[in-house]
Amino acid sequence: MSKPNPIELQKYLSGVDYPAKRDDLVQAAEKNGADSDTLDLVRGLPDRTYEGPSGVSKEIGG
């Protein structure tokens, strides 16, 4: 499974109001047409509140 680049990831998460919970991120990714690999990555994030896009990218990017 390939990881999306940070710009691609933020495109899929556009419209999210931070701080946001994982479920908010999943809903945004689904709404914005994220591919299945990206959706799996977002669904696999730890269930916590993310303060901003950089925190999400850091968590996915490892």
pLDDT digit string, tens, across residues 8-53: 999 999 999 999 999 999 999 999 999 999 999 999 999 999 999 9
* Beta carbons of 19 and 54 less than 8 angstroms apart: no
Q: Where are the beta strands (DSSP E) in 1-62?
A: 20-21, 49-50
62 has pLDDT over 90: no
* pTM metric for this prediction: 0.91
At residue 24, the pLDDT reads 98
6 has pLDDT over 90: no
- DSSP summary character for residue 17: -
Triad 45, 5, 20: Cα angle to 5°: 35
